[in-house]
Amino acid sequence: MKIRLNQKNIPLLATIAVFFLIYAAGSFLYPGFFSLRVFVNLFIDNAFVGIIAVGMTFVIISGEIDLSVGSVVAFVGVLIATLVQDYNMHPLPAILLCLVLGAAFGCAMGCLIHFFKLPSFLVTLVGMFLARGLAFLLSLNSIPIKHDFFEALTDFGFQLTRKVWIPSIAILFVAVVLLGVFLSHFTRFGRNAYAIGGNQQSAILMGLPVGKTKILIFTLDGALCALAGIVYSLYTMSGYPLACVGLELDVIAAVVIGGTLLTGGVGYVEGTLIGVLILGLIQTFITFQGTLSSWWTKIAVGVLLFVFILLQRYLSSAYSGREARGRDGKKAAQAEAA
Amino acid sequence: MSFNPACLKNENLGKLVWPLVALFAIVVFNVIFTPGFFNLEIKDGRLFGSLIDILNRGAPVMLVSIGMTVVYATGGIDLSVGAVIAIAGAVAATIIRPDYVKGVIEYGEMAPLVTVIGVPLLLALLAGLWNGALVAYVGIQPIIATLILMVAGRGIAQLITEGKIVVFIHEPFQFIGGGFLLGLPVPIVIVAVMLLVTYLLTRKTALGLFIEAVGANPKASQYMGIRAQLIKIATYMFCALCAGIAGLIICSDIKAADANNAGLFLELDAIAAVIIGGTMWGGRFTVAGSMIGALIIQTLTTTILTRGIAPEVTLVFKALVIICVALIQSEAFRKILTGRLAKTEAGQS
């Protein structure tokens, strides 16, 4: 799918514009903002958000939603910490086990959504409760992780310039984004996801494997959440059951700001990357500003989310007005677009 | 979703059976394993006991689930109730001690109770209007429209209290969360009054039918002459009002406004209560069912607390209860249970 300059690319272009606007503003206002280190830090500090956001992009493109992500990250972090510290397990099998568990968790949610026709927000809400509860069941407190292999993983990376070091989690983030781009644009799986989000009925009638694709999407999403949990535990060197409360909102905000339509069928993993970076920039901006408190981040994210949803709403109604008469034509329009 | 007016009454009653069975099971468990669960004593003309405690602690969840039921019936959802609770508490506390955040310990003039209650509730209504307008007029999906306020609302609450926990003493206001009326804790009385008002409004007028019609088919109800957009806005405002009252109860009970933790996860409890109660997403609703749902959740929490298990682990039980109830309500699951699995998946979505 080539990026063409049509209406459904406008949210993406707006996102890129906003990114450069904030970046330029920060660079003019604060010395040191426009530096390679700050830019690389965006990738380090938001690696776990970004990895989940890639999975969430697929979920939202297929017209569903996942509210369980923050809890899964916390659960995986606590599980790794418990396995490594209390059961003296080597981190490598622990990490593999977490990835498998995450994928299985996502797969189970996908099955519930597909086979029993339960709404995805309900199933993933239950997943959110369950994962958070299981994390508490393992430990009520933060567990620090001390293991040579774990530290080696954190320290792995390469020197970009004399001052700038690119650690493993930033590399992982970029790799996941590339994987997401590949899956969405160059595979049958990606095309099926777009088709289902555009119009599920048409996708069924076209003979696409709707159920299989949906379950696969949630499996991928679950595995990426587990990966994000591992990255988060590498980032903080601990497992904490109360970690990442409300992360799902940040992730959904990043995906929406990145130009993915909430009605499904339209969206780009590339856009999501920029959405994540915008959230990171807002945080950096507020840190550099110094006097603004951290709750301004929440308000700024809320306002940005609102503006982008309004933009989407306006564009999709304009689009559907042209493609199909009547207010309910938006689904049809997106199916055509996909 | 089959509509058969003749058996509506039975259908409604039938829906309440499963939640009632679940509640009954938890209560029976408590009767056996928790000594003195049913003990009620009267001290100084006030009722005390586990059952009263469950009702009292469950009052915020019950209040919010009343509002959530109505919103859910219109095919919506309100994720922002937790944030509205935080805002209401923050505003009330700031009115009582306007200069506390600046480090002034003195109260200044004591704020009249009408202002302390009225202003937060007005703001809650405003929040509901915002949610409702986004859903009804801008046409954003409810889950996303209310997500905005959920993210930003807590930020706004923290902005009001400047990130501090505002503690206060205000005798008349503390009556709301900690007082007794007719021997019952005031929160229970408030819930009872709200229930009565909701019952009269939705079952003794046509409003309840309008809400269900809008939820079942917005377009058809519009053609019938129901002002669907107005109904939707009204339900969101009502839900926010309920959340605002819950916020005042919580704030008055702990004599402090905690913008970070007040009402945290409460939206999930309320949604769970509504689903357990058997309200359909867009369609028939039963406030009584939601009350049973809220009681199940609160009784579960209390039971786990009295068993000495960490309260955070309740989440696992809540998750299991919700998924079981949701599966029982799912048509596809029932078909598998009865062995009549549909051969084709087309035409069912």
Q: What is the DSSP string of A207-218?
A: T--HHHHHHHHH
Tokens linked to B52: 């009263």
> Which residues have C-beta within 8 Å of that of residue B288, sequence separation ≥ 6?
B16, B277
Q: pTM surpassing 0.95?
A: no
DSSP state of A141: S
Strand partners, A238: A144
DSSP state of A64: -
Using a CB-CB distance cutoff of 8 angstroms, which residues of chain A are in contact with residue B82? none
Closest partner residue to B163 (CB to CB) among A252, A295, A306 is A295
Distance from the A108 Cα atom to the nearest Cα atom in chain B, whole angstroms: 12
- Which of B337, B334, B300, B306 has its CA nearest to residue B319? B300
Residues B349, A309: C-beta atoms closer than 8 Å = no
Using a CB-CB distance cutoff of 8 angstroms, which residues of chain B are in contact with residue A134? 316
> Which residues have C-beta within 8 Å of that of residue B146, sequence separation ≥ 6?
B77, B78, B79, B80, B131, B134, B135
- Number of cross-chain residue pairs from A and B with Cβ atoms under 8 Å apart: 131
Tokens linked to B100: 């506390």
CB A81 within 8 A of CB A239: yes
What three-state secondary structure class fits A167?
strand
Using a CB-CB distance cutoff of 8 angstroms, which residues of chain B are in contact with residue A328? 219
CB A7 within 8 A of CB A322: no
- Substitution target in A196, A298, A319 with the highest count of B β-carbons within 10 Å is A298
Residues A249, B150: C-beta atoms closer than 8 Å = yes
Single-letter amino acid code for the residue at B39? N
Residues A305, B312: C-beta atoms closer than 8 Å = no
Helix-helix angle A295-323:A10-29, to 10 degrees: 150
Per-residue confidence in pLDDT tens, chain A, 338 aa = 444 556 667 778 888 888 898 889 888 888 888 888 888 888 988 999 999 999 999 999 999 989 899 999 999 999 999 999 888 888 889 999 999 999 999 999 999 999 888 888 888 888 988 998 899 889 888 888 888 888 888 878 787 777 778 888 899 999 999 999 999 999 999 999 999 988 888 888 888 889 999 999 999 999 999 999 999 999 888 888 888 877 888 898 899 888 888 888 888 899 999 999 999 998 888 888 877 777 788 788 888 888 888 877 777 666 555 544 444 444 444 444 44
Q: How many CA atoms lie within 13 A of A312 on its CB side?
A: 28
- Substitution target in A123, A126, A240, A314 with the highest count of B β-carbons within 10 Å is A126
